[in-house]
């Protein structure tokens, strides 16, 4: 019973094996990819392991406090930002091994030529509530 | 007429209602669905129209729901025989029905999270929504987890004897790793363990109940108002729940007297020694070390040896604790935190501060991480002065 975040990167992850930008795929390949992602999420719901999945727009804004009475300062987007998150899926699984297995399956989503992308996904455990019994 | 729903009553009736349907020949999965429907209906109706015979009401509603579901079912022809028959009242369900339900819901073929979810629903009478909230997953996901669990145990015969140890592991998980939600899972774990203890005479069931009560007694003092952790040594012992401690100690003593020591009794004995100390300084660490030695003989859980090193550090001094720690795998969770604490007690504040930072980075939960970061900050601040 542990939650993990599967992070998909626009930038910042090592290059995938089948590393072709999506706009170079055929429309059918894009449809197949999206179908795979939807099926994956639906299957995880069936197994009782799905928590959440969201995609993010690539362009964001940096915001910070600018002192009492001033509106927040905004800046960016910064073209040089190394790490750019594309989206995530949150799973609730019994073991770390199961989380790795599922991340591996998600990374097999088809891309150009209908072949698996072998995309690198980042697997991050959630911090939990502290256990009651510690001694 | 009462506006308040007696949820405790409702939930305590769940296993026996399920048992009655089982005795009428309804399979577990269908019976469990029907009882869940009846519970949801009771939550809606009871606050304004409390039945005089709550259990009879639940049985009637659950039976009707089962018939409705059966009529809608594809296998209707085969089952209509059952539908048309007036249900035989059957023998009254016994405590054994409840016990078998515990075994079924903790069946070894289930994963821990499935067993927990199924136990809370079928034995605990919680709704899927409440369980989903408690474990911070969507209701649809929890519903699927429960129906898969029911499919997994569908071949298990209701009357096969089970293993108490698997049930205890599930209840321990509910108590120890429960998240906070509208349902108090720690209290629910205690209720379910108490109910189990009433149906089976087993020293380890008593041991687990005692362990839970002794830890629950400290609950109010374990966190500060801002949510930060308060270590055992710094807790305000005057605020410990003495009634809960007294009950836990009494249950433990009766269990230990039977001379069938097990893991949970040994853990409870350690908790009882802490509860017994009026101040942290008066803790009987020598006896606690002995109990950890017992525990290490009963289980190969490496966490036991880590906790033993802490106890040795208190009983024989930090150097002895560090020596005990050196014998353990340093990849164990909380190994670094223990090392930091022992080095601080030994007066090596620079090493302690460095290790607290490292331990914070590895902490499995936020409250512990914040606590360890604060320890590092405390040492770093005082060293700068």
pLDDT tens profile B300-334: 888 999 999 999 999 999 999 999 999 999 999 89
* A132: in domain: no
Facing residue for A131 by CB, picked from B112, B146, B177: B177
Rounded-to-integer distance, Cα B290 and Cα B281, Å: 18
B380 shares a domain with B365: yes
B363 Cβ under 8 Å from any chain A Cβ: yes
B100 shares a domain with B15: no
Q: What confidence score (pLDDT) does residue B1 get?
A: 44
A28: domain CATH number is 3.30.70.1060
Quick check: B197 pLDDT over 90? yes
What SS3 class is residue B226? coil
Q: What confidence score (pLDDT) does residue B94 get?
A: 63
Is B176 within 8 Å of A135 when comparing Cβ atoms? no
> Of B283, B313, B330, which residue is a domain's last?
B283
pLDDT digits (tens, 9 = 90+) for B228-263: 899 999 999 999 999 999 999 999 999 999 999 999
B170 shares a domain with B109: yes
Quick check: B270 pLDDT over 70? yes
- Best mean pLDDT range from A104-108, B178-182, B224-228: A104-108
B273 shares a domain with B181: no
Structure tokens at B143: 């519903």
List all residues of chain B from 226 to 255 with a beta carbon under 8 Å from chain A: 229, 232
* B229: in domain: yes
* A70: in domain: no
β A2-11/A122-125 pair status: antiparallel
* B340: in domain: yes
User: Chain B closest CA to A13's CA: distance in Å?
Assistant: 22
| Domain count within chain B | 4
> Of B176, B196, B216, which residue is a domain's last?
B196
Q: What confidence score (pLDDT) does residue B80 get?
A: 52
Is B142 within 8 Å of A135 when comparing Cβ atoms? no
B332 shares a domain with B355: yes
Q: Give residue B163's domain range.
A: 94-196
Check: complex ipTM more than 0.90: no
* B158: in domain: yes
Structure tokens at B365: 């939960």
Q: What is the CA radius of gyration of chain A?
A: 18
Closest CA to A41 of B140, B152, B129: B140
The answer, yes or no, to whether the previous bond of B175 is cis (omega within 30 of 0) is no
Facing residue for A132 by CB, picked from B113, B175, B310: B175
User: Chain A closest CA to B109's CA: distance in Å?
Assistant: 14
- Report the mean per-residue pLDDT for chain B: 90
User: With a cut of 70, which residues of chain A have pLDDT below it?
Assistant: none
pLDDT category, B160, cuts 50, 70, 90? low
B167 shares a domain with B240: no
Which residues in chain B are closer than 8 Å to A128, comparing Cβ atoms?
177, 364-365
Helical segments of chain B, H only: 7-23, 28-45, 54-72, 76-84, 95-105, 112-118, 128-134, 139-152, 164-176, 185-199, 203-216, 219-222, 242-256, 263-276, 285-298, 302-316, 318-326, 335-345, 349-362, 366-384
B164 shares a domain with B144: yes
Structure tokens at B199: 């149906």
B104 shares a domain with B67: no
Q: How are strands ordered across the β-sheet holding A122-125?
A: A50-55, A84-93, A2-11, A122-125
Is A50 within 8 Å of B141 when comparing Cβ atoms? yes
Rounded-to-integer distance, Cα B298 and Cα B287, Å: 17
Q: Give residue A22's domain range.
A: 2-58+78-125
User: Chain B closest CA to A97's CA: distance in Å?
Assistant: 13
Average pLDDT over residues B31-54: 93
Rounded-to-integer distance, Cα B194 and Cα B167, Å: 13
Structure tokens at A91: 């799973």
> Of B196, B230, B252, which residue is a domain's last?
B196
Q: What confidence score (pLDDT) does residue B93 get?
A: 58
Which residues in chain A are closer than 8 Å to B116, comparing Cβ atoms?
1
Is A45 within 8 Å of B307 when comparing Cβ atoms? no
* Closest residue, chain A, to B212 (C-alpha): A133
| Domain count within chain A | 1
Closest CA to B43 of B8, B85, B17: B8
Is the pTM value of this prediction over 0.90?
A: no
What SS3 class is residue B240? coil
Q: Is A2 exposed, middle or buried (0-12, 13-18, 19+ CB in 10 A)?
A: middle
B187 shares a domain with B175: yes
* A65: in domain: no
Rounded-to-integer distance, Cα B326 and Cα B215, Å: 29
Rounded-to-integer distance, Cα B258 and Cα A73, Å: 70
Contacts across the A-B interface (CB distance below 8 Å): 86
Structure tokens at B116: 């927990």
């Amino acid at each position: 019973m542990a939650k993990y975040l599967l992070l998909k990167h626009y930038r910042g992850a090592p290059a995938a094996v089948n590393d072709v930008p999506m706009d170079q795929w055929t429309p059918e390949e894009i449809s197949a990819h999206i179908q795979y992602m939807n099926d994956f999420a639906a299957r995880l719901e069936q197994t009782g392991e799905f928590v959440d999945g969201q995609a993010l727009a690539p362009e964001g804004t940096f915001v910070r406090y600018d002192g009492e009475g001033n509106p927040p300062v905004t800046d960016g987007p910064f073209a040089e930002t190394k790490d750019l998150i594309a989206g995530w899926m949150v799973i609730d699984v019994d073991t770390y091994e199961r989380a790795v297995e599922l991340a591996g399956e998600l990374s097999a989503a088809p891309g150009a030529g209908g072949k698996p992308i072998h995309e690198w996904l980042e697997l991050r455990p959630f911090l939990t509530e502290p256990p009651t019994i510690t001694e | 007429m009462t506006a308040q729903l007696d949820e405790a009553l409702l939930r305590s009736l769940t296993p026996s209602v399920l048992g009655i349907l089982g005795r009428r020949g309804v399979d577990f999965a269908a019976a469990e669905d029907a009882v869940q429907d009846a519970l949801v209906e009771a939550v809606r109706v009871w606050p304004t129209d409390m039945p005089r015979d709550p259990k009879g009401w639940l049985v009637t509603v659950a039976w009707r729901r089962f018939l409705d579901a059966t009529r809608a079912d594809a296998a209707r022809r085969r089952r209509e025989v059952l539908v048309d028959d007036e249900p035989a009242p059957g023998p009254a369900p016994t405590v054994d029905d409840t016990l078998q339900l515990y075994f079924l819901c903790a069946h070894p073929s289930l994963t821990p999270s499935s067993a927990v979810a199924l136990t809370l629903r079928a034995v605990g009478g919680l709704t899927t929504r409440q369980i989903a909230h408690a474990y911070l997953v969507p209701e649809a996901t929890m519903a699927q987890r429960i129906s898969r669990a029911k499919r997994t145990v569908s071949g298990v015969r209701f009357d096969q004897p089970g293993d108490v140890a698997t049930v205890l592991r599930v209840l321990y998980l509910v108590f120890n790793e429960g998240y906070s939600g509208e349902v108090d899972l720690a209290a629910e774990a205690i209720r379910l363990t108490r109910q189990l203890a009433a149906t089976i005479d087993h020293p380890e069931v008593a041991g687990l109940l005692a362990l839970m009560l002794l830890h629950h007694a400290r609950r109010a003092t374990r966190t500060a108002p801002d949510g930060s952790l308060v270590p055992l040594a710094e807790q305000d012992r005057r605020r410990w729940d003495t009634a809960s401690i007294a009950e836990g100690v009494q249950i433990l003593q009766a269990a230990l007297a039977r001379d069938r020591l097990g893991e949970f009794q040994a853990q409870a004995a350690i908790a009882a020694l802490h509860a017994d100390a009026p101040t942290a300084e008066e803790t009987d660490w020598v006896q606690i070390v002995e109990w950890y030695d017992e525990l290490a003989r009963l289980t190969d859980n490496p966490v036991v040896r880590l906790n033993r090193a802490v106890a040795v550090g208190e009983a024989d001094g930090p150097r002895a604790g560090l020596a005990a720690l050196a014998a353990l795998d340093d990849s164990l969770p909380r190994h670094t935190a223990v090392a930091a604490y022992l080095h601080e007690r030994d007066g090596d504040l620079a090493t302690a501060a460095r290790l607290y930072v490292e331990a914070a980075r590895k902490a499995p939960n936020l409250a512990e991480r914040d606590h360890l970061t604060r320890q590092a900050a405390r040492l770093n601040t005082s060293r700068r002065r």
